[in-house]
Amino acid sequence: MSTPRYKKDKEIIADYESQVKEIRAQLVEQQKCLDQQTDMRVQLLQDLQDFFRKKSEIEMEYSRNLEKLAERFMAKTRSTKDHQQYKKDQNLLSPVNCWYLLLNQVRRESKDHATLSDIYLNNVIMRFMQVSEDSTRLLKKTKEITFQLQEDLMKVLNELYTVMKTYHMYHAESISSEGKLKEAEKQEEKQIGRGDPVFSIRMEDKHQRRSSVKKIEKMKEKRQAKYSENKLKSIKSRNEYLLTLEASNSSVFKYYIHDLSDLIDGCDLGFHASLNRALRTYLSAEYNLETSRHEGLDIIENAVDSLDPRSDRQRFMEMFPSAFCPPPKFEFQPHMGDEVCQISSQPPINGELILRFQQLQSRLATLKIENEEIKKTSEATLTTIQDMVTIEDYDVSECFHHSRSTESVKSAVSETYLSKPSIAKRRANQQETEQFYFMKFREFLEGSNLISKLQAKHDLLKKTIGEGHRADYMTTSHHGSAQSTDVRVAAPLKVFCDFQVIS
């Protein structure tokens, strides 16, 4: 039977470094993807601004042409009898009345298109500019948190690397000391095996033989002690490696499955809602200007209705699968034939594991309470921000209510729409609320990351201790079978009571 080939230390380290290198490359690519997404949005918003600025110029030019057209024919009719009759009692022949109504409609359309031009220039374009500024600002805040989380993740992986190397070192020392112990045992067996009958040995040789045997026994005892010490170190280092491995995999899983989605949502905060409001302002203006265009505008409205941050986030992540696909779990790398891939709970480290489990349990209870409070505060703040960015202020129907007043269109629009002081106050409140939200968002993510690592260690220790107690119970039951009934019942009861307290 051929001896199984074990990976050498260099091979294990090379495989680990390769996996970490791939993760590091993913983290860099994620930053680039977020930058690319924001650059695309800023460019899109700039194109929208240029588009509506040109459209505003066209609408204003169209309004002036309509006004010239109406004025040209109104000037011809002012001196006619029909016009005098129209001013007196408005009792005209139907063709003439239609003609006057048609001219009034042209003037109405001229005013409507001037209103539309002003809405584009002083409302819609301003909204796109604000969305563009918000996107850049939110990207900066999100990248700061992303960088911090990525640094924390790399620290976890570096810690795993250090713990793994420590485990390999102690396990190698354990194997070495075990070999030396076996060599001493062979020498002892050899010394005993070559002994002659006592009566045939001279007195001088007998003393020499005894001295040699004592030296071998002393050497064996020293190597036995050294082996026991190294074996204990190896077990402890392997336990620490397995705990850190579980915590590292939990951290990587949480970052890729939960944190990335949250970070993308942070980058998208208010973008879709603000873009929705800007485009709905445009839709409201167009619908009120010309209801006959509903068929074409319905297509745009469907697109506006489809503005959904969750769907966009999913598509965004699907566009870059290599950057956001979670990496495979880190597997336990046995060293030099070590077949134990579970935490060892036998004495003398059993008590140490129980103490560590209890400390983790207490720490987790405190952290979960603190993080839950932070989460509630963060969610309440997020609700406030969502209320700010989803206010329904895009209906401009009042701007199309006509009166016989000669007041300029621009003055009416300026009074109707948001004033600059009101906008400045709202934006200041929004940015202040965003600052508080991102502070709590960072605290929540950092706290949940710590809870995730500690919970992984806690669960693994709980499973190990539980299995250890069940094994103790089976052993206690077996040895107690020859004792009285009271003893057999009391022993497992105590074990399970202790386990309940620990749990």
pLDDT, residue 395, reads 80
Q: How far is CA 47 from CA 52, 125, 275, 292, 366, in A?
A: 9, 10, 13, 27, 51
Range 191-199 average pLDDT: 58
Q: Report which residue type is found at 372.
A: E
Q: Residue 102's closest CA among 62, 74, 64?
A: 74
pLDDT tens, position by position, 362-378: 999 999 999 999 999 99
| pTM exceeding 0.95 | no
CA distances for 453 relative to 16, 197, 205, 242, angstroms: 20, 66, 66, 13
Q: Is the peptide bond before 321 cis (omega within 30 degrees of 0)?
A: no
| Amino acid at the residue 440 | K
Separation in Å, CA 439 to CA 60, 256, 336, 381, 443:
46, 21, 47, 11, 6
DSSP per position, 136-195: HHHHHHHHHHHHHHHHHHHHHHHHHHHHHHHHHHHHHHHHHHHHHHHHHHHHHHHHHHTP
Axis crossing angle, helix 9-77 with helix 260-267, rounded to the nearest 10: 20
Higher pLDDT, 287 or 135: 135
The number of beta carbons lying within 10 Å of the beta carbon of residue 465 is 22
428-440 tens-digit pLDDT: 898 999 999 999 9
Which tokens is 404 given? 């016989």
Q: Which token pair is 220?
A: 């064996």
pLDDT digits (tens, 9 = 90+) for 137-182: 999 999 999 999 999 999 999 999 999 999 999 999 999 998 988 8
Distance, in Å, from the CA atom of 331 to the CA atom of 381, rounded to the nearest integer, reads 40
* Tokens encoding 9: 């230390």
pLDDT band at 195 (very low <50, low <70, confident <90, very high): low
In angstroms, what CA-CA distances link 248 with 15, 163, 356, 407, 488? 16, 11, 18, 70, 43
Q: How far is residue 201's CA from residue 219's CA, in Å, rounded to a whole number?
A: 25
Amino acid identity at 106: V
* Interatomic CA distance for residues 494 and 501, integer angstroms: 11
Q: What is the spatial distance between Cα 113 and Cα 57, in angstroms, rounded to a whole number?
A: 10
Residue 400 pLDDT more than 80?
A: no
Three-state DSSP class for 274?
helix
pLDDT digits (tens, 9 = 90+) for 438-453: 999 999 999 999 999 9
Instruction: Give me the amino acid identity at 321.
Output: P
The mean pLDDT value of the chain amounts to: 81
Question: What are 264-285's pLDDT values in tens digits?
Answer: 999 989 999 999 999 999 999 9
**Whether the predicted pLDDT of 61 surpasses 80:** yes
CB 160 within 8 A of CB 13: no
